[in-house]
Amino acid sequence: MTAGISPVARRVFDGWDWHENAAVAHDGGRVTGVIPGTAPEVDLLVPGLVDLQVNGGGGVQFNDTTTAAGLASICAAHRALGTTTILATLITDTAAKTSEALAACAEARAAGQAGLAGLHLEGPHLDPRRKGTHAEALVRPMGEPDLRRILAAGDSCGHLLVTLAPEAATPEQVARLVAEGVQVSLGHSDCSAETAATYFAAGASMATHLFNAMSQMGHRAPGLVGAALDAGAVSCGLIADGHHVSDVAMRVALRGKRGPGRVFLVSDAMAATGSDLSEITLNGRTIYRSDGRLTLADGTLAGADISMLDALRYCTAALAVPLDEALRMATLYPAEAAGLAGAGRLTKGARADFLALDRDLGVQGVWVGGLRSRNGAA
């Protein structure tokens, strides 16, 4: 990688501030600074989007294609849609499939797969009462072999995130995972706020897709929703597509989240994203695509039919979130929540991953490590 300068933009957003008539200078795949320019060629330059919950894309579902090649296809599909950093997500499956996913991620990372920051294991250690689209027959408590399987991956998979329910794992297991560098998120749980607080104290630092598949907030029983919003050290993923969570609930959460933890966007994208598929499969079950929704035959939501950029646009258009804050929710906040140094910003030393967007927030160009991507290719 050599030194270069991006096209001049009418505005550049570095993760914190706007710069007028500016460009991004980079060297060796890293940002060296935002510099003044003249005669803008594009409207907006912003950091590449960061998505911590990507189940599939471009017609490929990770559960069905747990290979390095499958991950390459998923990364390319989302890169073309503006997301330059992902955690590939394995939905509840067998122990053998989990081992395959860990091996595939390690292989892809070793090969230098662009955009793959790590792996998100969403289940199988969940509460069956809050299983959502996860196959109930595969949901199970965490045993010692499960724990050792995850810990054995070490740092070969990059960042490892595990979604689990307090009903299916102990605080001691959470503490062991966190002590070895694995991040734990609470989700798919019917736990009380008091129980959630115990698990946050043990080291869990996220809540997975806030409001969905978890105990709701009541005035005397705040549930996991209330506990996550009130815990300052906890960050919360949110699916902003107009189907998973009502606009009112999202606005309340955004106003009410106690810091320094943040509410950040996730796509929860399935194989349909970035494709023209009308239906896909998961654990042998058909998922139907219609009117911006993905559902099982019984109507249960089964992931989301959006990209991160779709979620960002929804926040600005439907929730009246200012553009700079919506951008942070899709870049800086998820990167900070997962400790992904260098992602989600365009300050000195950050990765030179950025997008050119038009006034309607449509993608005009994607750069990875300072090099322009063509059709999702790194």
Within the chain, what is the greatest distance between any pair of CA atoms?
A: 61
Structural tokens at position 237 = 């993923």
Per-residue pLDDT of 232-268, as tens digits, reads: 999 999 999 999 999 999 999 999 999 999 999 999 9
What DSSP string describes 266-334? ---B-TTTTS--SEEEETTEEEEEETTEEE-TT--B-SBS--HHHHHHHHHHHS---HHHHHHHHTHHH
Directed axis angle between helix 144-152 and helix 95-110, to 10°?
10
Residue 377: what pLDDT? 74
Distances in Å between the Cα of 85 and the Cα atoms of 118, 192, 305 are 9, 33, 18
pLDDT (0 to 100) of residue 142: 98
pLDDT score, position 254: 98
Chain centroid to CA 115: 12
pLDDT tens, residue by residue, 106-116: 999 999 999 99
Nearest-angstrom CA–CA distance, 224 and 139: 19
Share of the chain above pLDDT 90, in %: 95
Q: State yes or no: pLDDT of 7 exceeds 90.
A: yes
Q: Which residue has the higher pLDDT, 92 or 374?
A: 92
Average pLDDT of the chain is 96
Confidence (pLDDT) at 42: 97
Provide the 10 A C-beta neighbour count for residue 362: 12
Annotation marks residue 268 as catalytic: yes
pLDDT of residue 1: 59
Give the strands of the sheet with 116-122, arranged side by side. Answer: 49-54, 83-91, 116-122, 159-164, 183-186, 206-207, 235-238, 263-265
**pLDDT at 375 > cutoff 90:** no
C-alpha distance from residue 51 to each of 69, 181, 278, 310 (Å): 19, 20, 23, 12
From the candidates 268, 305, 310, 353, give the one annotated as an active-site residue: 268
What does residue 88 show for φ and ψ, rounded to 5 degrees?
-65, 135
| 187 pLDDT higher than 90 | yes
Find out whether 265 and 308 touch, Cβ atoms under 8 Å. yes
Mean of pLDDT values over 29-43: 95
Question: pTM surpassing 0.95?
Answer: yes
Residue ranges of domains in the chain, CATH in brackets: 4-46+349-372 (2.30.40.10), 49-338 (3.20.20.140)
The whole-angstrom separation of Cα 289 and Cα 33 is 43
Euclidean distance between CA atoms 356 and 48, whole angstroms = 9
